[in-house]
């Protein structure tokens, strides 16, 4: 089956206001890959309860950094992915969009982070556990059904900290219709 609705790498998908799946309610995801066989992306606006020093306590650099780890989705929650906007690390990285990369060599990124303060790191790098995955044809069906709203890439949305307002900003970026959608509760009875 050939995909009729392909979402390019680097596209942001904002969940529709009525998507009530707790994994994706009011989420935004960055699309990493979309092919006929399926798709995967990373939820980028849901912070986990972990920090990188707790996740990698034995690492000589990361074991000293109290930086948040983000929840990327319900699949492969034992896998750590690095989303960043550090072009100097492009040897082990995959470009998702202009200035946005996935993956990095841990030693190389640790060396880059030496001497930077937490804010400088978090503005340019996000540690993500897990990912969102869709089987063949599943994302296309969900897009046709209106569960996901494709949004133009904005790396400031990807690296924002305010989880709920990030979703609202993404949806509002769609124009007049997005402004009204951003104000909708997941279920109209919640008004």
Tell the CATH superfamily of the 12-190 domain.
Answer: VC0467-like (3.40.1740.10)
Contacts of 65 (CB under 8 A, 6+ apart): 51, 52, 53, 113, 118, 121
3-state SS assignment for residue 126: strand
What is the per-residue pLDDT across 84-114, written as a single tens digit (0 to 9) for each?
A: 999 887 677 889 999 899 998 888 899 888 8
Q: Per-residue DSSP letters for 20-61?
A: --TTTTT-EEEEEEEETTEEEEEE-S-EEEEEHHHHSTTSTT
pTM for the model stands at 0.88
Model pLDDT for residues 116-129, shown as the tens digit of each residue: 888 899 999 999 99
Q: Which residues, other chains included, contact 108 with Cβ-Cβ below 8 Å and sequence gap of 6+?
A: 89, 91, 92
Q: What pLDDT was estimated at residue 181? A: 79
Q: Which of 136, 28, 11 is nearest to 73 (CA)?
A: 28
The reported pLDDT for the residue numbered 80 is 94
Q: What are the boundaries of each domain within the chain?
A: 12-190
Long-range own/partner contacts, residues 114-121 (CB < 8 A, 24 or more apart): 114/61, 118/65, 118/66, 118/67, 121/65, 121/67
| Per-residue confidence (pLDDT) for residue 68, from 0 to 100 | 94
Residue 3 has a pLDDT of 32
CA 83, 159, 38: angle at the middle one, nearest 5? 50
Positions in the chain whose pLDDT score sits under 50: 1-4, 188, 190-191
Contacts of 143 (CB under 8 A, 6+ apart): 5, 7, 150
């Amino acid at each position: 089956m050939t995909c009729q609705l392909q979402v390019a790498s680097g596209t942001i998908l904002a969940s529709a206001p009525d998507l009530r799946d707790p994994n994706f309610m009011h989420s935004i995801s960055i699309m990493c890959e979309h092919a006929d066989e399926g798709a995967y992306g990373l939820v980028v606006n849901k912070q986990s309860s972990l920090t990188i020093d707790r996740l990698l306590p034995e690492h000589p650099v990361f074991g000293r950094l109290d930086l948040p780890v983000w929840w990327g989705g319900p699949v492969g929650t034992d896998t750590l992915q690095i989303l960043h906007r550090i072009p100097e690390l492009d040897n082990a990285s995959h470009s998702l969009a202009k200035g946005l990369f996935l993956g990095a060599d841990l030693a190389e990124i640790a060396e880059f982070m030496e001497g930077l303060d937490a804010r400088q790191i978090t503005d340019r790098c996000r540690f993500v556990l897990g990912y969102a995955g869709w089987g063949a044809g599943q994302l296309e069906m969900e897009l046709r059904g209106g569960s996901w709203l494709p949004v133009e890439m904005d790396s400031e949305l990807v690296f924002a900290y305010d989880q709920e307002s990030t979703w609202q900003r993404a949806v509002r970026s769609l124009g007049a219709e997005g402004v009204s959608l951003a104000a909708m509760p997941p279920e109209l009875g919640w008004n």
